[in-house]
Structure 1
């Protein structure tokens, strides 16, 4: 069954080119291996984002840790995705140890938007993650959007939610901004759709 949130990414039979987060975290005694949690029950060999190649994706920029490419189903005037090369299932798999990774993802996404933007003014930009179960690919990916949105439906899909009061970092929404993500991780809070 096709999800309305699917971005129509292709599938590959190629072996994965990224390392699972379990391998990355096994030597870190202070971290719970992300792949041991139920939300990380994905086979990296079947992950389309573990097989990003220039012949299958329009790569904008990359470095040793991250890859940025265009979204195949853009929600805004410009819509890019930034992924880690190492397989991390989704935003709920992150711990406080990943705060710097999130910052690096946003910085690369912003740099990539600068490279592809044709705007003469400073357009509004939005950077964030969808929260499970609302996601199209179970490999962490940061949405990097240069507005305006393509439709009202897309605006709803990437809607921001202010916290209801000072006890919360984000409000009720299936989309969490990168700054909210960092703040929640630093506070040791779980990222969820409800206010947190």
Structure 2
């Protein structure tokens, strides 16, 4: 997707503060953090939303959760706790139509969210 901001970040056309990268995913600091630790984890494959996932994408999604665990440990939030959030659709707050996961930590969170 030529107009997707996350695809442009993956290609290096838009700078980001990278936290982690491998052949399947990229993680970088959110530019509008909602917590002391707030990073995004995105697949390098363009997938518009959770509704667009296929069986073939299951390996990528599982990998994202393993990467989130690694990043949480690296950033020192694994012991006290962290939240992983994925929004799907406009009413859920998805503003970029490229599947992405918010890894949030460094403070207490309330339940229910939103």
Question: What's the TM-score bracket when you normalise by the shorter of the two chains?
Answer: 0.7 to 0.9
Equivalent residue, structure 2, for 1:130: 87
Between the two structures, name the one with larger relative contact order (CA 8 Å, sep ≥ 6): 2
Rg larger in 1 or in 2? 1
Deviations 1:30-68 (A, max 9, x none): xxxxxxxxxxxxxx1011100113971000111001001
Unaligned runs of 5+ in 2: none
Q: Which residue pairs with 1:63 in the alignment?
A: 22
Measure, in 2, the Cα distance between the counterparts of 1:92 and 1:70.
25
State TM-score, norm by structure 2. 0.81
Q: How many residues align?
A: 110
**Structure 1: which 5+ residue stretches go unaligned?**
1-43, 160-172, 174-196
* 2:54 is the counterpart of 1:95: yes
State the superposition RMSD in angstroms: 2.5
Once the two structures are superposed, residues 135-185 of structure 1 have per-residue CA deviations (whole angstroms, 9 ceiling, x without a partner) of 121111011111426xx8xx68x82xxxxxxxxxxxxx8xxxxxxxxxxxx
TM-score relative to the length of structure 1: 0.50
Hey, what's the Cα distance between the residues in 1 that align with 2:59 and 2:83? Answer: 18
